[in-house]
Amino acid sequence: MRSPDDLLKRANLDGLDSNLDGSKFIWLPEDTYQGRTFFDEMKFFTERDPTESVFLECQAFLSSHFILTRSGMVKYVSRERAFSQNYTYFEDDGTVVMRSDMVSTLPMGEFRESVRIETNKNYTGGLFILDLKRAPWGCAIWPAFWTTNANWPDDGEIDILEGVHDNEHNQVTWHTLPGCYYDSSQTYSGTPVVSPVNGTIDCDSDANDNSGCGITELSRASYGPFFESQGGGVLAMKWDENGIAVWSFFRAAIPRDVVEGTPNPSLWGPPSAILGNTKCNITQYFRQHVIVFDITFCGAWAGNSYATTDCPGTCPERLMDPKNFECHLATPSSHVDAATSIVSPMDSPFSEYLDSGYNPSDTEIPLIKALIQQKVDGLDDIDKEIKEIESSLAALKARRKANKIFIRKHRALIAPIKRLPPDILSTVFLACLPVIESTEAAMTPNHPAAVISQVSRQWRQLAFDTPLLWTRIQLILPYVNCDPYYPPYHPANDEPDVTSEVASLFESVVQRLFDTTTVWLARSKGCPLSIFMEASEGAAGGFIASQLKTLEGSILMGLQKLVGLLLNESKRWEQVRFKIAMTANNHPSQLSRLLLLTPQDVPILRKASIVINPLDTPEAPMDPSFGLEPTKIWDGIRMGTIHGQALQSLTLACPKAATNLKVLQVNWAGLTELSLRPYVWGPSGRRGGSHLTADEALTLLRLCPNLKRCNLAIGNGTIPWGTPPTVWDPMPTPVAPVQDRPVCRLPHLHYLGLREDSRADSLASVLDLPFLRSFTQNCSIFWPRPPPEGLIPHYSDPEEERWRNEIPLLEWVQRFGHTITTLDFKHVGVPQHAVEKCLEDLPNLISLTIRSPFSESWNSTLPWGLASGCDSFLEKFTPRVIEDGDTVTVTPGFLCPKLEDLSLNSFLDSVPVQLVFNEASVLEFLTGRVKASLKTVPEVSRVPKLRYVSIGSVCAEAFLMGRCSLSCIDAVEADKVFREKKLAVYYNAP
């Protein structure tokens, strides 16, 4: 510190400041805040930021998130926190650094940590000089260097350095009590923020939304990126009774007297802003100030002005990403023409020697080295420029991403679903419910009803007020095998027993299901219930409980709890589907309780599906031709649960002994849907195949005059299910003629599905089905392989020839072909010509599915599993289109002119061969159908447009709009037919 005499000698006395009485004075240092002692006389402000603002941010995507704050979105930290997190520290050259949190990723609405410090000492007047290398700038940021005190606004406020966002000009502002005015007639270089009125600006903090007397500096180097790119600068405030003036100097223009430590404001020229004493009593409105440094975010200025800037998203959103607050050194933007920035080899004095064998002389080598070093040094500048461009690109991408987020969130804010009335919204909720058998219907936190109830308080209450959301009860116990056509697994003697740990796990699953079901039932509030349950009284996977003693108690106790819970609500059962493995002997059975209710217990049961896999096995194999159960344990079981008067739909797959009509007292007349698949025991305990005889099926159908859909398994029980593929002799066993049976009329039946294991008897001649539209026939027998090529087949008599060349489908088609529009059948190995004959009698067929190959499909010279082509069959479906100028003619005589859906490859693994079609035949079929469906074809011969086609090794989906994607077929023809007609065909080659 220099002495006053030294300062006086070096001062220009003509430029000394003057008091009001005209006396001269000079400025002497009083306090210095610098280096590692900078924070010693500072206190850290940790209270709520006082910069007032109001934000209301709404983020909505199923849920709503509101942020309401009346202050800057900043959390000021203590001295200890600031130093421990490196918010404040010192560089090696003594530079003091103060910054905010640049690491933490914040959730929406949380405030970012930062620092605010103020001097312990108060000042009333003085010359305040700040050497500032860098100052924060950027979207949402609001730094400030200012003076005030706790008695605000009584003792005034002076903002020396202040700005927001990417502003390039500092704003100097004064805030006071009423009565202080800025005199705009004074000499200064800045521009008033608010236009003067009668030459003055009111500094009253209560006026103009506390904008005060604000002056924007002229220089771009006073704030923001340009100030930083110039290496910062010096800010100075002179405060005495004459007024309060502020100057700012960028680094290259700092006055010499300031650099030398003898500041003389009278030599600095006009200030950027000055509050004179002509309209404001300085000593009255400004006193006892502390010096303040802070970095805040959003707030009254940065927050309220955010929407008017080019900053992405919203101010609270900007606060979330720490990358937005990383320190960076900005440079003035520049534009370089890439074409002129590339250096040509001709720019070198040695260009003519490049890429040659020239050997430089000793005097040339230093010059070449200097040229190389020059370019090496230039690489750093180029790399720096590249990084700046990449940084700018990253910033643009970030802005783009932020804009997309902004758009998405604001669109969500005005989403129509937010304005739906509760009754419509609850209907939308119900539409989200999955099918009860699906995995999505499991009663877990991922169930749609549970998810909806977690979105918001409003949705949660509405979900609880919508009891139908909770009426679908799904109970699936682990490792259950309830398929009636596969027996339970019997462990070998050397297999280890199930441990108590597994039993404990089973009990925990049951308890979870019990607790969840209790909640679901309570929330359903008395509404009708839909229940789906898969369970086994044997151990995991269908193990016999008697062989797994460890689990027996756990299983039965768990089932007792769950079954009891369901039985308590049986009067609310509307739909049930049980897939259960159980016993029918004296062994304690819990699952049978679900079946043995009375009609009074299930007054509203409308739909029931029961699949039973008995755990009772025969002691010894039986001849399947007997068609009898090994025991009578299922005889006489009365499944009273399905005897209710409200029952309309029944699916039953169970031992045949349990389907005795004398015991099964179902309200048959009330049924509109029926599916009955009883089974018998086969060899070695296997479940048998076809089940009802024709007479039994006919008797049953007479009891159900109101059926709309029916699915029955019919046969003599001679073919056990699961038998390996074998060629069976289709010759029938003689049976009584059907002509003597009375006709059974079902006036409402529109779908009939039959699973048959023989062709001994047919119901077609004794059924009257005027409304039949859809017919499915699945025949499990295999037609014999045809004789080798060139050999004439030998038949014992004409009757055998007729039976071998006619298929069971023929009689149904001859009787009902004029009404059938959908046909799905599987007759393995039937002659192709027999199928074609059936299709000729189906003029109204819209959808056709064939699930088996023809006898012509395999050749005795080919290995088992391979088939010869079936193109001749596909040709029968292909219309011939003749185009003669504007005249288009479709030649009649092709099969199924009204066809829209065709599937010829849906074969099971057990089928010995698969159909194979030539790609050219497929293309010809598709093009022929497309051409015949165009509007240029006369309506009388025009065919419908194809919707779906799946042929052999070809899978094609046909739609009217889209684009064509073909392979392995003629691309030229494809373009001509499909692209021009806008028909999409997706083709997978063999």
Domain boundaries, the chain: 35-325, 417-463, 853-989
Structure tokens that stand for 168 in this block = 């390039």
923, 968 contact by CB (below 8 A): no
Q: Which residues, including other chains, have CB under 8 Å from residue 269's CB and lie 6 or more apart?
A: none
pLDDT tens-digit series, residues 575-617:
999 998 877 654 557 888 999 999 999 999 999 999 988 765 4
Strand order from edge to edge, sheet including 141-148: 42-44, 116-119, 290-297, 141-148, 157-162, 171-175, 213-216, 191-192
Which pLDDT does position 291 carry in this prediction?
Answer: 96
User: What pLDDT shows up at residue 355?
Assistant: 80
Q: What is the CATH number of domain 35-325?
A: 2.60.120.200
Greatest Cα pair distance, the chain, in angstroms, is 145
CB count, 10 Å around CB of 62? 14
**Strand residue runs (E) in 471-539:** 472-476, 529-536
The pair of structure tokens assigned to 645 is: 């008067």
Give the DSSP letter of residue 979: I
Fill in the amino acid letter for 766: V
Phi, psi angle pair for 489, to nearest 5°: -75, 135
First to last CA, the chain: 95
Q: How many other β-carbons are positioned within 10 Å of the β-carbon of residue 322?
A: 15
Inter-residue contact 241 to 272 (CB < 8 Å): no
The pLDDT value recorded for residue 758 is 57
63 and 73 Cβ atoms separated by less than 8 Å: no
Q: Report the candidate in 620, 563, 556, 561 with the shortest Cα–Cα distance to residue 588.
A: 556
Give bridge partners of residue 903 from the DSSP assignment.
Answer: 849, 950
User: What gap in Å lies between CA 681 and CA 631, rounded to an integer?
Assistant: 10
- Beta strand spans in 290-365 (E): 290-297
Dihedral sign of CA atoms 32, 38, 39, 40 in order: negative
pLDDT for 721 equals 40
Q: Check: CB of residue 483 under 8 Å from CB of residue 539.
A: no
Which residue numbers are catalytic? 157, 162
- What are the distances in angstroms from CA 35 to CA 28, 314, 593, 892? 20, 38, 87, 102
Residue 119, beta-bridge partner list: 42
For residues 248 and 222, the answer to whether their CB atoms sit within 8 Å is yes
Assess contact for 299 and 72: CB atoms under 8 A.
yes
Q: What is the pTM of this model?
A: 0.56
pLDDT, tens digit, 9 for 90 and up, residues 452-469: 999 889 999 999 999 999
- Dihedral, 399, 405, 408, 412 alpha carbons, nearest 10: -140
At residue 842, the pLDDT reads: 94
**How far apart are alpha carbons 610 and 607 in whole angstroms?**
10
CB distance 138 to 298 below 8 Å = no
* pLDDT at residue number 971: 40
Whole-Å CA distances, 563 to 514, 537, 593: 10, 12, 8
Helices (H) and strands (E) in the chain, counts: 20, 40
Q: How far, CA to CA in Å, does 661 sit from each of 593, 628, 657?
A: 21, 17, 10
C-alpha–C-alpha distance, residues 639 and 383, integer Å: 85
CA distance 12 to 6: 12
The token pair that represents 53 in the structure block: 């603002």
Low-confidence ranges of the chain (pLDDT < 50): 1-15, 53-70, 328-346, 480-489, 540-547, 586, 617-631, 682-687, 718-738, 790-791, 860-868, 909-910, 953-990
Could you tell me which residues are beta bridge partners of residue 60?
64
Please tell me the distance from the alpha carbon of residue 312 to that of residue 296, in angstroms, as a whole number.
18
The pLDDT of residue 552: 61
DSSP string, 230-289: TT-EEEEEEEETTEEEEEEEEGGG--HHHHTT---GGGS-S-SEEEESSSS-HHHH--SB
What dihedral do alpha carbons 219, 221, 224, 227 form, nearest 10°? -170
